[in-house]
Amino acid sequence: MLQKLIAIIDEYNAQTPENVRITTTKDYPLSNLCTFKIGGPADLVAYPCDIDALIFLVKTAASLDLPYLILGNGSNILPSDMGYRGVVINTTRLTSVCSIGNKIIAECGASLISVTREALGAQLSGLEFAYGIPGTVGGAVYMNAGAYEGQMSDVVEVVHYFDTKIGEIVTVQCEDCNFGYRISLFSNDPTKIILSAEFVLNPGNYDEIKQKMDDLMQRRIDKQPLDYPSAGSIFKRCPGHFTARLIEEAGLKGLSVGGAQISPKHAGFIINTGGATSADVMSLIEIVKEKIYEEKGLNIECEVREI
């Protein structure tokens, strides 16, 4: 089926302007597509250059009964050491961002860095918390990403998605996105493929917005192990507790399994110190979960997605 998909893509490209053709790479390491720098090869990686191409890829893969994975910047995933058997549809070329009035409209593959900078340029406030989150709009909406007392559900007005069940583009209001702590309508239903989102913000002062962005970025630099590959915060917040503090109090800060290590700088991060495998990370995660349950009677949950 993979060869048939490639043949169909070739036919599509033959009838499509060069600037919006789909490019593909076979047997491509997932370690090159995620911030953890971990993972075996995907059978095929396809890069749509516009929304129509993304929808075409999803519909075609589904029609061939070929497994597919939608992937943005890969900042919150832990790929398998065995790779992915199917097609990875990478959205990072869908990067359109614009401001209209007090709104920012962005495609799913646009980086949060670019969205926050667009907001700054338009003197719109409300997205400062997202400055420095290394994800895309699609991934951020998918998991209701947040930091520093802000989250996507605070600023999303509408989301446009492709519904594979009915084969149509649907627009959904924020209140119907079922946002919760690191979950959404989309994380609970893989048949809904995020295409773009609209953020409603507040008029602000350029210098004040920039100051807040710079302050938050400095806090990240000071407290987080940004000099090592990671998937960001590895565990969800434990109700009533700071999970990183629980890990540190359990004496696990700095613990390593293979190339994976609980960051000596911030215990909420597992870092790739060099050559870490998915198995190394998972072993470390299990050690942490068991130790916290043994000492505190608490079940902590992972924030990262295994693929």
In tens, the pLDDT along 32-42 reads 999 999 999 99
Provide the pLDDT for residue 262. 97
User: Does residue 236 form part of some domain?
Assistant: yes
Residue 264's pLDDT is: 96
Does 145 lie in the same domain as 75?
no
Both tokens of residue 261? 């290590």
Question: In the listed set 90, 124, 144, which residue is the last one of a domain according to the structure?
Answer: 90
Confidence grade of residue 237 (pLDDT, cut at 50, 70, 90):
confident
Assigned domain for 110 exists: yes
Q: Which three-class secondary structure state does DSSP give residue 46?
A: strand
Is the predicted pLDDT of residue 276 greater than 90, yes or no?
yes
pLDDT at 149 over 90: no
Tokens of 69: 């994975």
- Residue from 125, 233, 263, 278 carrying the catalytic annotation: 233
The whole-angstrom separation of Cα 202 and Cα 125 is 5
- Rounded Cα distance between 31 and 79, Å, is 8
Residue 60 domain-assigned?
yes
Q: Are residues 129 and 85 in the same domain?
A: no
For the cut 90, the answer to whether the pLDDT of residue 239 exceeds it is no
When pLDDT is cut at 50, 70 and 90, the band that residue 19 belongs to is: confident
For the chain, give the percent of residues with pLDDT over 70.
Answer: 100
Count the domains in the chain: 3
Q: What percent of the chain has pLDDT over 90?
A: 92
- For the question of residue 96 being annotated catalytic, the response is no
CATH of the domain at 13: 3.30.43.10
104 and 194 housed in the same domain: yes
Asked if residue 102 and residue 86 are part of one domain, the reply reads: no
CA separation, residue 118 to residues 109, 136, 150, 208, 265 (Å): 15, 14, 18, 15, 31
pLDDT at 89 over 90: yes
Is residue 29 classed exposed, middle or buried when 0-12, 13-18 and 19+ CB atoms within 10 A define those classes? middle
More reliable by pLDDT, 132 or 47: 47
| pLDDT score, position 209 | 97
Q: What is the pLDDT of residue 222?
A: 94
Catalytic residue among 107, 118, 128, 303: 303
Q: What's the confidence (pLDDT) of residue 238?
A: 83
Note the pLDDT of residue 241: 83
**Is 11 labeled as catalytic in the residue annotation?**
no
Do 185 and 263 lie in one domain? The reply is: no
pLDDT at 240 over 90: no
59 and 103 co-located in one domain: no
Q: For position 267, which CATH number holds?
A: 3.90.78.10
Both 116 and 190 in a single domain? yes
Give the domain range for residue 241.
225-306
Q: Do 85 and 106 share a domain, yes or no?
A: no
Q: Are residues 75 and 138 in the same domain?
A: no
- The whole-number average pLDDT for the span 213-229 is 94
Catalytic residue among 182, 196, 230, 263: 182
CATH code for position 191: 3.30.465.10
Q: State the pLDDT at residue 147.
A: 87
Given a contact cutoff of 8 angstroms between Cβ atoms, the answer to whether 194 and 170 are in contact is no
233 is catalytic: yes
Domain end (from 207, 234, 266): 207
Residues 157-212 have pLDDT tens digits of 999 999 999 999 999 999 999 999 999 999 989 999 999 999 999 999 999 999 99
